[in-house]
Amino acid sequence: MINSTQVSHFVLGAYFDTGMLKYLCFMIVLFLFTVFVNLTLIVTVCFDKTLHEPIYIFLCNLCFNGICGASCFYPKLLYDLLANSHVITYIGCLTQMVATYSYIFCEFTSLTIMAYDRYVAICRPLQYRALMTVQKVAQLLFLTWCFSMLEAFVGVSLTSRLPLCGRHLPKIFCTNWDVVRLSCSDTTVNNIYGSVLTFSHLLQMILILISYAHLVRASIRSLSDRRKFAQTCLPHLVTLLIFTTSLLFDMMYSRYGGSDTMVVLKNALAAEFLVVPPLINPVIYGMNLHQIRSRILHIDCWRPKLPTDL
């Protein structure tokens, strides 16, 4: 029997040996582009005082979380594509799991907060400034990161206490579910905690749907509300759909992926939630929000300015 004190590394078993170079080049370009588009949006908002509004600050937080999610996945992947053996240390595996699940939980919570912000902006516009103050925004961001990291740390801590009977993980990165399945002992506590987390984030999803029910009803009242809904709420819905769909793909792969499934398809389904949302989110918001799009394209810099002393 192999227990957790004896396991020094895990073997990542979803790699294959043919055509690694082309995948390496593609992943490098994808990683650099993901970081670039997220940083571009963050820098644009930070350096333009007219964009220092709650919705854009929350969007910056979403992009920063996307960079964190990509950074906990791509560097190890790029290293493994160059390496002869695809292994990860026990501590490295736990660290990757904490970072990955912090990203997942922070993404869900950030999308919930953004839905609340849009609800207040459209359904209660006269109270928006009073409710979404600078202090309130800072508190929401602080709680988002604290609770997300706490949720991930507790889950991984429960997994780290389990004795393990193997070291082979059927993915290209570490997940809590795959490590728990290697356990030689009872995993009831881990399953209960996982159910609690699933229920809590399901409640967040319900809150988002309730807020959008109010938003759709409120946006019918006037053209300006419909325009505001189309500019800021539709990208949020698309982001939420992409992220939840990506997570469902990973869950389906973890539980129902057979050994006869193509390795490339397995990897794509398993890693989609770490690849697609961080890449797509800033593109969706950057293209749809006129304020951000005009700043990124430097429209104001090219527009001739009239003298002000006339």
Give the tens place of pLDDT for each residue, 213-238.
Answer: 888 887 777 777 677 777 767 777 88
Closest alpha carbon to 59 in 220, 260, 295: 295
For residue 173, name the pLDDT band (cuts at 50, 70, 90). Answer: confident
Question: In the predicted model, is pLDDT for residue 259 greater than 60?
Answer: no
Integer Cα distance of 285 and 235 in angstroms: 6
- Domains by residue range for the chain, with CATH: 9-300 (1.20.1070.10)
Global pTM value = 0.85
What are 75's two structure tokens?
């560097």
Specify the range with the lowest mean pLDDT, choosing from 54-68, 104-118, 277-291. 277-291
Distances (CA, A) of 47 to 27, 94, 139, 281, 286: 30, 36, 22, 20, 15
Question: What's the mean pLDDT in 134-163?
Answer: 94
139 vs 7, residue with greater confidence: 139
Where residue 255 falls among pLDDT bands split at 50, 70, 90?
A: low
* Segment 33-52 mean pLDDT: 89
Q: Is the pLDDT of residue 20 over 90?
A: no
Neighbours of 62 (CB within 10 A): 25
Name the band, by pLDDT with cuts 50, 70 and 90, for residue 109. Answer: very high
Say if residues 233 and 216 touch (Cβ distance below 8 Å). Answer: no
CB 181 within 8 A of CB 17: no
Q: Which residues pair with 10 in a beta bridge?
A: 88
| pLDDT at position 257 | 55
Max intra-chain CA distance, the chain: 86
Rounded to 5°, the CA angle 107-257-103 comes to 15
